[in-house]
Structure 1
Amino acid sequence: MDESIPRSSVPSPEPSPEPFSDALVLDARSLRGIAHPLRWRILTLLQRRGPLTGKSVSEALGRTSASVSYHLRQLHAYGFIAEDPELGTSRERWWRAPHAGIRFPEHLDTDAPELATATRATMAVMWGERLTAAVEAWSAQPEEWRDAQGMADRLTQLTAEESAALREELRQVLDRYHRAPGPEADTEAPGSRVVQVQLALFPSPHPADQRPSEPDGQER
Protein backbone atom coordinates (compact mmCIF):
# COMPACT_ATOMS: atom_id res chain seq x y z
CA MET A 1 0.00 0.00 0.00
CA ASP A 2 1.27 3.44 -0.84
CA GLU A 3 -1.00 6.38 -0.12
CA SER A 4 -0.46 9.58 -2.03
CA ILE A 5 1.18 12.09 0.27
CA PRO A 6 0.79 15.69 -0.91
CA ARG A 7 4.00 17.66 -1.34
CA SER A 8 4.23 20.78 0.77
CA SER A 9 5.69 24.08 -0.33
CA VAL A 10 6.87 24.69 3.22
CA PRO A 11 10.70 24.76 3.25
CA SER A 12 12.59 22.10 5.16
CA PRO A 13 13.48 23.05 8.73
CA GLU A 14 16.96 24.08 9.69
CA PRO A 15 19.20 21.14 10.63
CA SER A 16 18.79 20.26 14.29
CA PRO A 17 21.25 18.67 16.71
CA GLU A 18 21.67 14.90 16.57
CA PRO A 19 18.49 13.65 18.36
CA PHE A 20 20.22 10.65 19.92
CA SER A 21 23.51 12.26 20.89
CA ASP A 22 22.71 11.54 24.54
CA ALA A 23 21.11 8.15 23.97
CA LEU A 24 21.57 5.15 26.21
CA VAL A 25 23.33 2.41 24.24
CA LEU A 26 21.79 -0.98 24.98
CA ASP A 27 23.91 -4.00 25.81
CA ALA A 28 23.12 -7.62 26.64
CA ARG A 29 22.54 -6.78 30.31
CA SER A 30 20.33 -3.75 29.82
CA LEU A 31 18.14 -5.66 27.35
CA ARG A 32 16.91 -7.67 30.33
CA GLY A 33 15.71 -4.48 31.94
CA ILE A 34 13.68 -3.18 29.01
CA ALA A 35 12.26 -6.30 27.31
CA HIS A 36 8.84 -5.74 28.90
CA PRO A 37 5.91 -3.78 27.39
CA LEU A 38 5.06 -1.85 30.55
CA ARG A 39 8.66 -0.79 31.11
CA TRP A 40 8.82 0.60 27.57
CA ARG A 41 5.63 2.56 28.24
CA ILE A 42 6.95 3.90 31.54
CA LEU A 43 10.26 4.91 30.01
CA THR A 44 8.54 6.61 27.05
CA LEU A 45 6.24 8.49 29.41
CA LEU A 46 9.15 9.74 31.51
CA GLN A 47 11.09 10.78 28.40
CA ARG A 48 8.17 12.85 27.14
CA ARG A 49 6.50 14.11 30.31
CA GLY A 50 8.86 13.52 33.22
CA PRO A 51 9.94 13.94 35.88
CA LEU A 52 6.99 12.14 37.45
CA THR A 53 6.13 10.34 40.65
CA GLY A 54 5.18 6.69 40.70
CA LYS A 55 1.59 7.72 41.41
CA SER A 56 1.52 9.99 38.37
CA VAL A 57 2.92 7.21 36.18
CA SER A 58 0.33 4.79 37.56
CA GLU A 59 -2.54 7.18 36.81
CA ALA A 60 -1.27 8.05 33.33
CA LEU A 61 -0.91 4.41 32.28
CA GLY A 62 -3.90 3.04 34.17
CA ARG A 63 -1.85 0.47 36.08
CA THR A 64 -1.70 -0.38 39.75
CA SER A 65 0.77 1.45 41.95
CA ALA A 66 2.35 -1.85 43.00
CA SER A 67 2.99 -2.92 39.40
CA VAL A 68 4.37 0.48 38.38
CA SER A 69 6.55 0.67 41.47
CA TYR A 70 8.13 -2.71 40.67
CA HIS A 71 8.89 -1.80 37.09
CA LEU A 72 10.25 1.62 38.09
CA ARG A 73 12.71 -0.12 40.38
CA GLN A 74 13.75 -2.44 37.56
CA LEU A 75 14.24 0.44 35.14
CA HIS A 76 16.32 2.20 37.80
CA ALA A 77 18.41 -0.90 38.49
CA TYR A 78 19.28 -1.24 34.80
CA GLY A 79 20.13 2.46 34.38
CA PHE A 80 17.16 3.58 32.27
CA ILE A 81 15.80 6.07 34.80
CA ALA A 82 17.11 8.01 37.80
CA GLU A 83 15.67 9.68 40.87
CA ASP A 84 15.33 13.46 40.79
CA PRO A 85 16.71 14.58 44.17
CA GLU A 86 15.56 18.16 43.70
CA LEU A 87 11.92 17.11 43.56
CA GLY A 88 11.93 14.06 45.79
CA THR A 89 10.94 14.05 49.44
CA SER A 90 11.13 11.53 52.25
CA ARG A 91 7.60 10.39 51.34
CA GLU A 92 7.61 10.66 47.56
CA ARG A 93 10.16 9.76 44.90
CA TRP A 94 10.31 11.53 41.55
CA TRP A 95 11.72 9.75 38.52
CA ARG A 96 13.23 11.08 35.31
CA ALA A 97 14.76 9.62 32.16
CA PRO A 98 18.31 11.02 31.91
CA HIS A 99 18.78 9.88 28.31
CA ALA A 100 17.02 11.40 25.31
CA GLY A 101 16.70 8.10 23.47
CA ILE A 102 17.95 4.55 23.10
CA ARG A 103 20.37 3.04 20.62
CA PHE A 104 20.02 -0.63 19.67
CA PRO A 105 23.39 -1.88 18.34
CA GLU A 106 23.15 -4.59 15.68
CA HIS A 107 25.69 -6.78 17.49
CA LEU A 108 23.02 -7.59 20.10
CA ASP A 109 21.34 -9.84 17.53
CA THR A 110 24.43 -12.05 17.87
CA ASP A 111 25.25 -11.46 21.55
CA ALA A 112 21.70 -11.89 22.90
CA PRO A 113 19.39 -12.97 20.06
CA GLU A 114 16.43 -14.05 22.20
CA LEU A 115 16.41 -10.84 24.25
CA ALA A 116 16.93 -8.74 21.13
CA THR A 117 13.95 -10.40 19.48
CA ALA A 118 11.79 -9.98 22.59
CA THR A 119 12.72 -6.30 22.83
CA ARG A 120 11.95 -5.61 19.18
CA ALA A 121 8.68 -7.53 19.51
CA THR A 122 7.70 -5.29 22.41
CA MET A 123 8.52 -2.21 20.35
CA ALA A 124 6.50 -3.54 17.41
CA VAL A 125 3.44 -4.12 19.61
CA MET A 126 3.64 -0.60 21.01
CA TRP A 127 4.05 0.96 17.58
CA GLY A 128 1.18 -1.15 16.26
CA GLU A 129 -1.07 0.11 19.05
CA ARG A 130 -0.18 3.72 18.24
CA LEU A 131 -0.78 3.22 14.53
CA THR A 132 -4.15 1.58 15.19
CA ALA A 133 -5.18 4.48 17.42
CA ALA A 134 -4.07 6.95 14.74
CA VAL A 135 -6.10 5.15 12.06
CA GLU A 136 -9.20 5.24 14.27
CA ALA A 137 -8.79 9.02 14.69
CA TRP A 138 -7.69 9.62 11.07
CA SER A 139 -10.95 10.96 9.62
CA ALA A 140 -11.65 13.15 12.65
CA GLN A 141 -8.43 15.15 12.29
CA PRO A 142 -8.58 18.76 11.03
CA GLU A 143 -8.31 19.02 7.25
CA GLU A 144 -4.70 20.22 7.25
CA TRP A 145 -3.66 17.25 9.38
CA ARG A 146 -5.66 14.78 7.28
CA ASP A 147 -3.68 16.03 4.27
CA ALA A 148 -0.36 15.95 6.12
CA GLN A 149 -0.53 12.46 7.60
CA GLY A 150 0.19 9.38 5.51
CA MET A 151 0.72 5.62 5.43
CA ALA A 152 2.96 3.81 2.97
CA ASP A 153 4.20 0.29 2.30
CA ARG A 154 6.35 -0.66 -0.66
CA LEU A 155 8.27 -3.67 -1.94
CA THR A 156 11.52 -3.09 -3.80
CA GLN A 157 14.48 -5.21 -4.87
CA LEU A 158 17.67 -4.20 -3.05
CA THR A 159 21.01 -5.61 -2.02
CA ALA A 160 22.06 -5.52 1.63
CA GLU A 161 24.39 -2.62 0.84
CA GLU A 162 21.59 -0.66 -0.85
CA SER A 163 19.27 -1.35 2.08
CA ALA A 164 21.86 -0.03 4.52
CA ALA A 165 22.35 3.08 2.39
CA LEU A 166 18.58 3.67 2.20
CA ARG A 167 18.27 3.29 5.96
CA GLU A 168 21.00 5.88 6.49
CA GLU A 169 19.38 8.35 4.07
CA LEU A 170 16.01 7.99 5.80
CA ARG A 171 17.66 8.49 9.19
CA GLN A 172 19.22 11.71 7.95
CA VAL A 173 15.83 12.98 6.80
CA LEU A 174 14.30 12.19 10.19
CA ASP A 175 17.20 13.92 11.93
CA ARG A 176 16.73 17.01 9.78
CA TYR A 177 13.09 17.32 10.80
CA HIS A 178 13.70 16.47 14.44
CA ARG A 179 12.40 18.96 16.98
CA ALA A 180 12.26 17.50 20.47
CA PRO A 181 8.71 17.70 21.90
CA GLY A 182 8.46 19.48 25.21
CA PRO A 183 6.91 22.34 27.17
CA GLU A 184 8.32 24.94 24.76
CA ALA A 185 7.20 23.22 21.55
CA ASP A 186 4.07 25.33 21.02
CA THR A 187 5.93 28.62 21.42
CA GLU A 188 8.78 27.51 19.16
CA ALA A 189 6.48 26.36 16.35
CA PRO A 190 2.91 27.72 16.51
CA GLY A 191 0.39 25.17 15.32
CA SER A 192 2.78 22.25 15.72
CA ARG A 193 1.82 18.93 17.24
CA VAL A 194 3.84 15.94 18.36
CA VAL A 195 4.13 13.70 15.30
CA GLN A 196 5.24 10.09 15.39
CA VAL A 197 7.12 8.66 12.42
CA GLN A 198 7.33 4.88 12.33
CA LEU A 199 9.99 3.39 10.09
CA ALA A 200 10.86 -0.23 9.40
CA LEU A 201 13.06 -1.74 6.69
CA PHE A 202 13.66 -5.48 6.45
CA PRO A 203 13.82 -8.41 3.98
CA SER A 204 10.25 -9.49 3.32
CA PRO A 205 9.44 -12.63 5.35
CA HIS A 206 6.54 -13.62 3.05
CA PRO A 207 7.24 -16.33 0.43
CA ALA A 208 4.66 -14.79 -1.93
CA ASP A 209 6.80 -11.67 -2.21
CA GLN A 210 9.83 -13.57 -3.47
CA ARG A 211 10.62 -14.07 -7.15
CA PRO A 212 10.11 -17.64 -8.38
CA SER A 213 13.24 -19.67 -9.01
CA GLU A 214 14.33 -19.78 -12.63
CA PRO A 215 15.79 -22.77 -14.47
CA ASP A 216 19.54 -22.84 -14.75
CA GLY A 217 20.81 -21.09 -17.84
CA GLN A 218 17.67 -19.05 -18.49
CA GLU A 219 18.37 -15.50 -19.55
CA ARG A 220 16.36 -12.50 -18.43
Structure 2
Amino acid sequence: MDEPPEDPQLRSLDARSLRGLAHPLRMRLLNALRQGGPATASQLAERLGESSGATSYHLRQLATHGFVEDAPERGKGRERWWKAVHRGVRFDTALLKDGNAEVRGAADLFLHEVATQHTRDLATWLGTRDEWPETWNRSSDMSDWTLSLTPELALDLIHKMHDLVESYRVRALDDTPGIEQVRVHTHVLPLRTD
Protein backbone atom coordinates (compact mmCIF):
# COMPACT_ATOMS: atom_id res chain seq x y z
CA MET A 1 0.00 0.00 0.00
CA ASP A 2 1.28 3.48 -0.84
CA GLU A 3 2.13 5.96 1.88
CA PRO A 4 -0.10 9.06 2.01
CA PRO A 5 1.38 12.20 0.43
CA GLU A 6 3.46 14.46 2.67
CA ASP A 7 1.44 17.16 4.39
CA PRO A 8 3.47 20.39 4.78
CA GLN A 9 1.56 21.14 7.99
CA LEU A 10 2.90 17.92 9.58
CA ARG A 11 6.51 17.83 10.70
CA SER A 12 8.27 14.49 10.33
CA LEU A 13 10.26 13.73 13.46
CA ASP A 14 13.89 12.68 13.13
CA ALA A 15 16.30 11.69 15.90
CA ARG A 16 17.39 15.29 16.62
CA SER A 17 13.93 16.89 16.60
CA LEU A 18 12.48 14.02 18.64
CA ARG A 19 15.03 14.63 21.40
CA GLY A 20 14.00 18.31 21.38
CA LEU A 21 10.30 17.51 21.70
CA ALA A 22 10.19 14.39 23.90
CA HIS A 23 9.66 16.11 27.24
CA PRO A 24 6.27 16.14 29.01
CA LEU A 25 6.11 19.92 29.47
CA ARG A 26 7.33 20.67 25.95
CA MET A 27 4.67 18.43 24.47
CA ARG A 28 1.99 20.06 26.63
CA LEU A 29 3.20 23.54 25.63
CA LEU A 30 3.14 22.65 21.95
CA ASN A 31 -0.35 21.14 22.26
CA ALA A 32 -1.56 24.25 24.09
CA LEU A 33 -0.26 26.50 21.30
CA ARG A 34 -1.79 24.30 18.61
CA GLN A 35 -5.17 24.20 20.30
CA GLY A 36 -5.36 27.67 21.84
CA GLY A 37 -3.30 29.72 19.40
CA PRO A 38 -0.47 32.14 20.18
CA ALA A 39 0.31 32.85 23.83
CA THR A 40 3.03 34.18 26.11
CA ALA A 41 5.11 32.03 28.46
CA SER A 42 3.22 33.55 31.42
CA GLN A 43 -0.18 32.75 29.92
CA LEU A 44 0.91 29.18 29.21
CA ALA A 45 2.37 28.84 32.72
CA GLU A 46 -0.96 29.85 34.23
CA ARG A 47 -2.95 27.56 31.92
CA LEU A 48 -0.71 24.54 32.59
CA GLY A 49 0.01 25.17 36.28
CA GLU A 50 3.75 25.65 35.73
CA SER A 51 6.22 28.43 36.53
CA SER A 52 6.81 31.04 33.84
CA GLY A 53 10.55 30.33 34.12
CA ALA A 54 9.95 26.68 33.18
CA THR A 55 7.61 27.53 30.32
CA SER A 56 10.03 30.18 28.99
CA TYR A 57 12.93 27.74 29.03
CA HIS A 58 11.02 24.94 27.33
CA LEU A 59 9.52 27.30 24.72
CA ARG A 60 13.04 28.38 23.79
CA GLN A 61 14.03 24.71 23.47
CA LEU A 62 11.02 24.08 21.23
CA ALA A 63 12.04 27.10 19.13
CA THR A 64 15.61 25.80 18.83
CA HIS A 65 14.20 22.60 17.31
CA GLY A 66 11.75 24.44 15.02
CA PHE A 67 8.46 23.52 16.71
CA VAL A 68 7.47 27.05 17.81
CA GLU A 69 8.38 30.55 16.72
CA ASP A 70 7.80 34.14 17.72
CA ALA A 71 4.41 35.65 16.96
CA PRO A 72 5.56 39.30 16.77
CA GLU A 73 2.20 40.48 15.45
CA ARG A 74 0.74 39.69 18.91
CA GLY A 75 3.41 41.19 21.17
CA LYS A 76 3.83 44.69 22.44
CA GLY A 77 6.88 46.02 24.23
CA ARG A 78 8.92 43.24 25.85
CA GLU A 79 6.02 40.79 25.79
CA ARG A 80 7.05 37.73 23.75
CA TRP A 81 4.31 35.72 22.09
CA TRP A 82 4.82 32.21 20.74
CA LYS A 83 2.97 30.19 18.11
CA ALA A 84 3.19 26.62 16.81
CA VAL A 85 4.95 26.23 13.46
CA HIS A 86 3.12 23.06 12.32
CA ARG A 87 -0.35 21.59 12.85
CA GLY A 88 1.09 18.25 14.01
CA VAL A 89 3.95 15.79 13.78
CA ARG A 90 4.48 12.54 11.94
CA PHE A 91 6.17 9.81 14.00
CA ASP A 92 8.29 7.16 12.27
CA THR A 93 8.22 3.90 14.23
CA ALA A 94 11.82 3.27 13.05
CA LEU A 95 12.83 5.70 15.83
CA LEU A 96 11.87 2.98 18.33
CA LYS A 97 14.61 0.78 16.87
CA ASP A 98 17.27 3.48 16.41
CA GLY A 99 20.85 2.43 17.19
CA ASN A 100 21.12 5.19 19.81
CA ALA A 101 19.54 4.28 23.16
CA GLU A 102 18.81 7.97 23.84
CA VAL A 103 16.74 8.18 20.65
CA ARG A 104 14.86 4.98 21.52
CA GLY A 105 14.14 6.37 25.01
CA ALA A 106 12.91 9.68 23.55
CA ALA A 107 10.68 7.79 21.09
CA ASP A 108 9.19 5.73 23.90
CA LEU A 109 8.64 8.82 26.06
CA PHE A 110 7.02 10.64 23.13
CA LEU A 111 4.51 7.83 22.54
CA HIS A 112 3.68 7.55 26.24
CA GLU A 113 3.11 11.31 26.42
CA VAL A 114 0.78 11.15 23.40
CA ALA A 115 -1.21 8.42 25.16
CA THR A 116 -1.26 10.50 28.36
CA GLN A 117 -2.58 13.51 26.42
CA HIS A 118 -5.33 11.38 24.90
CA THR A 119 -6.29 10.17 28.38
CA ARG A 120 -6.19 13.76 29.69
CA ASP A 121 -8.46 14.96 26.87
CA LEU A 122 -10.97 12.21 27.59
CA ALA A 123 -10.89 12.79 31.35
CA THR A 124 -11.37 16.53 30.84
CA TRP A 125 -14.40 15.89 28.64
CA LEU A 126 -15.93 13.48 31.15
CA GLY A 127 -15.35 15.96 33.96
CA THR A 128 -16.82 18.94 32.11
CA ARG A 129 -19.51 17.44 29.86
CA ASP A 130 -22.29 18.90 32.04
CA GLU A 131 -20.96 22.38 31.19
CA TRP A 132 -21.60 21.80 27.47
CA PRO A 133 -24.93 22.18 25.66
CA GLU A 134 -26.92 19.00 25.14
CA THR A 135 -26.20 19.21 21.40
CA TRP A 136 -22.49 18.67 22.13
CA ASN A 137 -23.25 15.85 24.57
CA ARG A 138 -25.26 14.11 21.82
CA SER A 139 -22.45 14.82 19.33
CA SER A 140 -19.61 13.28 21.34
CA ASP A 141 -18.49 9.67 20.99
CA MET A 142 -16.51 7.08 22.92
CA SER A 143 -16.68 3.98 20.77
CA ASP A 144 -14.46 1.00 20.24
CA TRP A 145 -14.49 -1.97 17.93
CA THR A 146 -12.58 -5.21 17.85
CA LEU A 147 -11.80 -6.44 14.34
CA SER A 148 -9.77 -9.31 12.93
CA LEU A 149 -7.35 -7.77 10.40
CA THR A 150 -4.03 -8.42 8.74
CA PRO A 151 -1.33 -5.73 9.12
CA GLU A 152 -2.10 -4.63 5.54
CA LEU A 153 -5.82 -4.25 6.26
CA ALA A 154 -5.05 -2.37 9.49
CA LEU A 155 -2.87 0.07 7.55
CA ASP A 156 -5.61 0.49 4.93
CA LEU A 157 -8.09 1.25 7.72
CA ILE A 158 -5.73 3.82 9.27
CA HIS A 159 -5.25 5.62 5.94
CA LYS A 160 -8.99 5.68 5.27
CA MET A 161 -9.75 7.01 8.77
CA HIS A 162 -7.11 9.73 8.40
CA ASP A 163 -8.48 10.72 4.98
CA LEU A 164 -12.01 10.90 6.37
CA VAL A 165 -10.97 13.04 9.35
CA GLU A 166 -8.93 15.35 7.09
CA SER A 167 -11.95 15.82 4.81
CA TYR A 168 -13.74 17.52 7.74
CA ARG A 169 -10.93 20.03 8.37
CA VAL A 170 -12.39 22.58 5.92
CA ARG A 171 -16.11 21.84 6.24
CA ALA A 172 -16.80 24.58 8.81
CA LEU A 173 -15.21 28.02 8.82
CA ASP A 174 -13.85 29.60 12.00
CA ASP A 175 -16.78 32.05 12.13
CA THR A 176 -19.50 29.38 11.74
CA PRO A 177 -22.05 29.68 14.59
CA GLY A 178 -21.61 26.95 17.20
CA ILE A 179 -18.14 25.94 16.01
CA GLU A 180 -15.79 24.44 18.60
CA GLN A 181 -12.48 22.62 18.35
CA VAL A 182 -13.05 18.86 18.35
CA ARG A 183 -10.39 16.30 19.27
CA VAL A 184 -10.48 13.03 17.35
CA HIS A 185 -8.30 10.22 18.70
CA THR A 186 -7.67 7.04 16.78
CA HIS A 187 -5.89 3.97 18.04
CA VAL A 188 -5.33 0.89 15.93
CA LEU A 189 -3.33 -1.71 17.83
CA PRO A 190 -3.15 -5.48 18.00
CA LEU A 191 -4.40 -7.34 21.07
CA ARG A 192 -3.39 -10.75 22.35
CA THR A 193 -6.44 -12.88 23.09
CA ASP A 194 -4.75 -15.85 24.79
The TM tier, using the shorter chain, reads 0.7 to 0.9
- Matches of 2:91 and 2:170 in 1, distance apart? 21
State the AA in 2 paired with 1:201.
V
- Percent sequence identity over matched residues? 35
**Cα distance change on mapping 1:87 and 1:164 into 2, 3 Å:** same
Q: Aligned match of 1:137 in 128, 148, 151?
A: 128
Once the two structures are superposed, the pairs formed by residues 80-95 of structure 1 within 5 Å of their partners are: 80-88=67-75, 91-95=78-82
CA contact (8 A) 2:30 2:67 kept: yes
1:124 and 2:111 aligned:
no
Residue in 2 that maps onto 1:156: 147
- Matches of 1:84 and 1:149 in 2, distance apart? 33
State the AA in 2 paired with 1:43.
L
Length-normalised TM-score, structure 2:
0.84
Residue in 1 that maps onto 2:42: 55
**Cα distance change on mapping 1:130 and 1:87 into 2, 3 Å:** closer
Q: Structure 2: state its 5+ residue gaps.
A: none
**Cα distance change on mapping 1:139 and 1:57 into 2, 3 Å:** closer
State the AA in 1 paired with 2:84.
A
Residue in 1 that maps onto 2:169: 178
Q: Structure 1: state its 5+ residue gaps.
A: 1-17, 211-220
- Cα displacement (A) at 1:62: 2.1
Length-normalised TM-score, structure 1:
0.75
Once the two structures are superposed, the pairs formed by residues 1-220 of structure 1 within 5 Å of their partners are: 20-88=7-75, 91-111=78-98, 112-179=103-170, 185=174, 187=175, 189-204=176-191, 207=192, 209-210=193-194
- Matches of 1:89 and 1:102 in 2, distance apart? 30
The secondary structure found in structure 1 opposite 2:82 is strand
Deviation string 1:73-128 (CA, Å, 9 cap, x unpaired) is 11111111112344456633222212222111233232243221110101111110
- Cα displacement (A) at 1:25: 1.4
State the AA in 1 paired with 2:117.
M
Greater share of helix: 2
- Cα displacement (A) at 1:172: 0.9
Query: Which protein has the larger Cα radius of gyration, Structure 1 or Structure 2?
Result: 1
**Cα distance change on mapping 1:50 and 1:150 into 2, 3 Å:** closer
Higher relative contact order (CA 8 A, sep 6+): 1
What RMSD in Å do the two structures reach over aligned CA positions? Answer: 2.4
- Matches of 1:92 and 1:148 in 2, distance apart? 39
CA contact (8 A) 2:66 2:85 kept: no
Number of equivalences: 186
**Cα distance change on mapping 1:140 and 1:94 into 2, 3 Å:** closer
- Matches of 1:80 and 1:140 in 2, distance apart? 33
